[in-house]
Amino acid sequence: MTEGPDISRTAALIGDPARAGMLAALMRGQALTVSELAAEAGIGLPTASAHLARLEGGGLIAPRRQGRHKYFALASDEVAALLEALMRFSAGSAPARLPGPRDPALRQARVCYNHLAGERGVQMYDSLVARGFLLAAGEGLRLTEEGVGFVTGFGIDLAALQAARPPLCRECLDWSARRSHLGGRLGRAFLLAIEAKDWARRSPGSRVIAFTPEGARRFALAFPAARADDLSRIAGG
């Protein structure tokens, strides 16, 4: 009767406010303990424990024990992409939400699991593509020869990255900008490099990435925007 994989199981897991809140918190990228996640969702410890067990069973999160603590993190980049896709859809239909002061900051630059998202993330992605450092094809993204040079020049150790299994480049649809940004190990490496250069730092307890004035200036120089006539043709077709 129903064709294809069972969607409803996964959707139902995300469909509970408490669990969704925990997942949203984990989108900050750092692993959190059961207690922290319980506080984040505004529920008690026993309840949180049950929720987390179900999320783990569904393959959405992965545990890591450390002494008396049990840390949870998103299971994979794919989960983060799925959550962003959901946010992207919900952002359009939602009734504006409370337009708190944090929302603009979130739109501008935030961490998406482990890489840079928001307008700055999109700008970086576009700039890399426009200058021929990154090539989109199929689902994959390819780093070109020139791209290798740029990345290395940016202070990223490519050799170390090549070793691991998960995809080097991955594009990730952004819920705020409704455009792609760069994920995968390379996306992570870029964010780390940006933090290492002290251009920006993550705000504790939030997904916001705060750029310093000087950092913003350097970022704009490093990732110049693509030419306007290019962008205009891309959007609508």
Over the window 70 to 89, marking each residue x when it contacts DNA by CB under 7 A and - when it does not, the resulting string is x-------------------
**Least distance (Å) from its own copies to the CB of residue 215?**
22
Residues 6+ apart with CB under 8 A from 166: 76, 77, 184, 185
Number of CB atoms found within 10 A of residue 139's CB: 8
- CB contact at 8 A, 119 and 129: no
Q: Is 186 in the site for its own copies (CB under 8 A)?
A: yes
Q: Which residues, 147 to 206, sit near DNA by CB under 7 A?
A: none
CA dihedral for 214, 26, 166, 82, sign (positive or negative): negative
Q: Binds 85, which of DNA, its own copies, none (CB < 5 to 8 A, cut-off by type)? A: its own copies
Residue 127 or 199: which CB sits closer to its own copies?
127
Q: Is 92 in the site for its own copies (CB under 8 A)?
A: yes
Residue 179 or 218: which CB sits closer to its own copies?
179
DSSP letter at 131 equals: T
For the chain, the C-alpha Rg in angstroms (whole number) is: 19
Q: Which residues, 26 to 45, sit near its own copies by CB under 8 A?
A: 27, 40, 42
15, 44, 155, 224: which one contacts its own copies (CB under 8 A)? 15
What whole-number distance in Å separates Cα of residue 136 and Cα of residue 61? 29
Q: Is 50 in the site for DNA (CB under 7 A)?
A: yes
